[in-house]
């Protein structure tokens, strides 16, 4: 985390961002207030620190370039005053040779300067990209609930790329130009202090233009970046949800939505172009004024004998040399302003603190038996809004027990199981595992003890074997196959031509929902957790898959404390405990006894469970009851 912590240093930004997801990450198109420039710039420059050695090389090369650039007018002045006007032909040849040699040296130094700068830019971009992604991967669920994936992606790629442009190009050009401006001043003062004064008179005009320009172009760039991020987020959503789009025939709507957003990007870009286009005319006028003044005042001075002809020509050449820095300054200000806007967005991510973190004195959870207790647990997703998703929940699961959670949709079942691995932090009450308060142990060790198989299974674009071994990359092929056998998917995988090496995902084999579920179970099994959280699929499956799933689940649950969000009759019949939730509260509960299962007890009680069971398991009753022991 070296770089990430180095980068995440602005205390103020940190405090601001800590409250949750900064508005910008929701991908809103509004350009918020822009922060002060200096702190961002300082922090950006601090990211260069690890590359100090190469940067010293860059500065030396920039100095050498400046000297090589400033020398020719001096040589010309010498050639005019001493050699040409005095008719020294041989010496003119020497002066010409000197100019040629300088040009060659400048070429070589330029190569070094440009390559080293590009190298530094790429390295810094690399570090930043990694730091942002590393940080993103540490952020809590509550952050992802509110952030838009596309917007985050654009921060890791597009914004970091802008910073690459800043470090890899703009920074050194700005430095070289500054050196040139100061260098010219030095030479002119050395020649004649009046020339120096005349030159200094031009600088405020340039500075004024730069200031006015920067003030306008910075918010404009910020708008461009925000609109671009919103466009990325919109496209990402449309493409990720293409199935739904097509299903409801909303292609035209999505096209129009993306088109509108693209139009906003266009307008924002055009606005920056309008501002940028004003810069060159302004610079040309300033240059024209400067050159005319030089000729007018300088010419009179030469006639009066106050300065030499060579000095006037040298001075005029220097004034012409200003054109490049001025012209580039406009462009570079663009890049710098763009970089500031991008840096704000990148730092915003880095400054966001995860809600769930290790306590300062956190210790690793030792091996546990799996006794889980919830004591008076209350939780609201938005603590300020106050609507509680869970209210005063108490429960105790003995090691190895299966607890089935039942209730209407939105009752809080998922929320309840998500509190156990600390995806979210309850506002009241506490949760313990074998007596260890889960907020006192390290998050990593807590999650190591818990396995989760969710209803929607996410498979990575990798082989089946790699997907199964995702939670335990050191698992051997034998262990992977063993896990697959337990969940009844080994024979199917073996029947594929590439077996465990078969790719899944876009370019690979298409798996059914039931197969994906079993792969997810095998994945959990490989991590050998003491505590298991299962979210049963709601969709009905054919009898054969159902039978296999039941067998798989039975094997996986054995010896583990298991929480199941139950949708199947078979599961509730097997449960040691059933909790019925409604509106975030446990409204009914029962424990199996040798005489009566929890399911039977709750059906007999005739409350909400009975109604739910009648509705939910109705279709299954006939077929499944026969299959269940």
Q: In the complex, which residues of this chain contact ligand ADP (CB under 6 A)? A: 145, 381, 389, 407, 409-415
Contacts for 194 with CB less than 8 Å, ≥ 6 apart: none
CA 247 – CA 243 distance, rounded (Å): 6
Q: Which is nearer to ligand ADP, 475 or 566 (CB)?
A: 566
The sign of the CA dihedral 115, 117, 121, 123 is positive
Q: Of 24, 26, 48, whose CA–CA distance to 222 is shortest?
A: 24
Contacts for 253 with CB less than 8 Å, ≥ 6 apart: none
CA 269 – CA 277 distance, rounded (Å): 12
CB of 453 to ligand ADP, least distance (A): 15
CB of 492 to ligand ADP, least distance (A): 30
Q: Which is nearer to ligand ADP, 345 or 413 (CB)?
A: 413
Listed in sequence order, the DSSP H helices in 294-442 are 299-303, 309-321, 323-351, 413-419
Q: Which is nearer to ligand ADP, 147 or 283 (CB)?
A: 147
How distant is the alpha carbon of residue 488 from its chain centre? 38
Phi, psi dihedral angles at 187 (to 5 degrees): -65, -45
The CB density around residue 405, as the number of other CB atoms within 10 Å, is 25
Show the tokens assigned to 361: 């004195």
Q: Determine contact, residues 628/569, Cβ cutoff 8 Å.
A: yes
Q: Which is nearer to ligand ADP, 227 or 415 (CB)?
A: 415
Q: Determine contact, residues 552/377, Cβ cutoff 8 Å.
A: no
Show the tokens assigned to 470: 């995702």
Q: Determine contact, residues 628/570, Cβ cutoff 8 Å.
A: yes
Q: Which is nearer to ligand ADP, 290 or 412 (CB)?
A: 412
Q: Which is nearer to ligand ADP, 283 or 380 (CB)?
A: 380
Q: Which is nearer to ligand ADP, 129 or 413 (CB)?
A: 413
CB of 389 to ligand ADP, least distance (A): 4
User: Does residue 402 sit in helix, strand or coil?
Assistant: strand
DSSP 504: B
CB of 142 to ligand ADP, least distance (A): 8
Q: Of 162, 157, 152, whose CA–CA distance to 26 is shortest?
A: 152
CB of 616 to ligand ADP, least distance (A): 13
Q: Which is nearer to ligand ADP, 6 or 585 (CB)?
A: 585
CB of 545 to ligand ADP, least distance (A): 23
CB of 380 to ligand ADP, least distance (A): 9
- Give the side-chain half-sphere CA count within 13 A for 80: 14
CB of 382 to ligand ADP, least distance (A): 7
CB of 584 to ligand ADP, least distance (A): 7
Q: Which is nearer to ligand ADP, 231 or 565 (CB)?
A: 565
């Amino acid at each position: 985390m070296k770089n990430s912590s180095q980068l995440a240093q602005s205390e103020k930004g940190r405090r601001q961002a800590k409250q949750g997801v900064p508005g910008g990450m929701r991908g809103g198109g509004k350009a918020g207030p822009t922060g002060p420039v200096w702190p961002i710039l300082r922090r950006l420059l601090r990211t260069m620190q690890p590359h100090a050695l190469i940067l010293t090389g860059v500065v030396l090369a920039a100095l050498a370039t400046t000297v090589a650039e400033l020398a020719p007018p001096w040589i010309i002045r010498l050639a005019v005053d001493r050699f040409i006007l005095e008719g020294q032909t041989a010496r003119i040849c020497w002066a010409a040779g000197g100019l040629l040699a300088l040009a060659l040296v400048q070429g070589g130094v330029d190569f070094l300067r440009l390559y080293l700068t590009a190298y530094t830019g790429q390295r810094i971009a690399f570090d930043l990209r990694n730091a942002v992604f590393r940080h993103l991967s540490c952020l809590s669920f509550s952050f992802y609930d509110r952030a838009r994936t596309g917007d985050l992606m654009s921060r890791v790629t597009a914004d970091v790329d802008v910073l690459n442009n800043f470090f890899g190009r703009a920074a050194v050009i700005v430095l070289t130009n500054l050196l040139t401006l100061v260098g010219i001043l030095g030479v002119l003062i050395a020649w004649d202090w009046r020339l120096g004064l005349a030159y200094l008179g031009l600088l405020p005009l340039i500075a004024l233009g730069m200031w006015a320009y920067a003030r306008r172009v910075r918010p404009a760039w910020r708008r461009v970046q925000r609109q671009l991020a919103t466009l990325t987020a919109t496209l990402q959503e449309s493409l990720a949800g293409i199935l739904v789009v097509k299903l409801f025939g909303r292609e035209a709507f999505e096209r129009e939505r993306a088109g509108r957003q693209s139009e906003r990007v266009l307008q924002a870009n055009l606005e920056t172009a309008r501002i940028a286009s004003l810069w060159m005319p302004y610079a040309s006028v300033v240059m024209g004024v400067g050159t005319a003044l030089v000729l007018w005042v300088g010419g009179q001075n030469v006639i009066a004998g106050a300065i030499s002809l060579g000095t006037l020509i040298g001075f005029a050449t220097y004034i012409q040399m200003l054109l490049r820095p001025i012209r580039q300054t406009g462009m570079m200000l663009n890049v710098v302003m763009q970089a500031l806007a991008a840096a704000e967005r990148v730092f915003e991510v880095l400054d966001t603190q995860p809600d769930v973190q290790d306590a300062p004195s956190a210790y690793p959870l030792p091996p546990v038996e799996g006794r889980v207790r919830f004591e008076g647990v209350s939780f609201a997703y938005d603590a300020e809004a106050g609507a509680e998703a869970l209210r005063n929940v108490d429960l105790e699961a003995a090691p190895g027990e299966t607890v089935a959670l039942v209730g209407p949709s939105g009752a809080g079942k998922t929320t309840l199981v998500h509190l156990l691995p600390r995806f979210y932090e309850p506002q009241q009450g506490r949760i313990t595992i074998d007596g260890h308060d889960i907020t006192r142990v390290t998050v990593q060790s807590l999650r190591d003890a818990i396995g989760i198989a969710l209803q929607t299974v996410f498979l990575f674009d990798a082989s089946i074997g790699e997907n199964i071994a995702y939670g335990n990359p050191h698992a051997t092929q034998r262990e992977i196959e063993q896990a697959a056998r337990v969940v009844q998917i080994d024979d199917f995988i073996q029947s594929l031509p590439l077996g465990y090496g078969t790719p899944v995902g876009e370019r690979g084999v298409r798996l059914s929902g039931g197969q994906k579920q079993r792969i997810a179970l095998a994945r959990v099994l490989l991590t050998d957790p003491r505590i298991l959280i299962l979210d049963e699929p709601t969709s009905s499956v054919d009898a054969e898959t159902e039978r296999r799933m039941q067998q798989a689940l039975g094997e996986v649950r054995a010896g583990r404390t298991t929480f199941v969000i139950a949708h199947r009759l078979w599961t509730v019949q097997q449960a040691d405990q059933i909790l019925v939730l409604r509106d975030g509260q446990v409204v009914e509960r029962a424990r199996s006894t040798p005489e009566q299962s929890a399911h039977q007890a709750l059906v007999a009680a005739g409350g909400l469970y009975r109604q739910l069971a009648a509705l939910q398991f109705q279709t299954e009753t006939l077929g499944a009851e026969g299959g269940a022991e």
